[in-house]
Amino acid sequence: MVGDGRSKRPLRDFGLSVIKVTRKSFSNVGISLSTHSKLKPIIKVAKMIKRNIIYILTYFYHRITNA
């Protein structure tokens, strides 16, 4: 049956795994580069992005916000 949702599940699982891999790679590279800048506002924003990276990447996957 086409409308039962089984055809979309593998794509959703693949997308979520891509989000997890991207989150790990960003947190390893992006945060370490920005914390070496020694500018407190840059470090503050980098840490904020690190805390919320899963939500940012989920937005790009689903295009849905709470706003």
pLDDT tens across 49-65, in order? Answer: 778 877 877 777 777 77
- Name all contacts of 6-12 with Cβ < 8 Å and 24+ positions apart: none
pLDDT tens across 9-43, in order? Answer: 555 565 666 666 666 666 666 666 666 777 888 78
Q: pTM of the prediction?
A: 0.51
pLDDT, residue 11, reads 54
pLDDT, residue 7, reads 54
How far apart, in whole angstroms, are the C-alpha atoms of residue 61 and residue 36? 30
Assigned token pair, 17: 């795994």
pLDDT, residue 33, reads 67
How far apart, in whole angstroms, are the C-alpha atoms of residue 60 and residue 19? 9
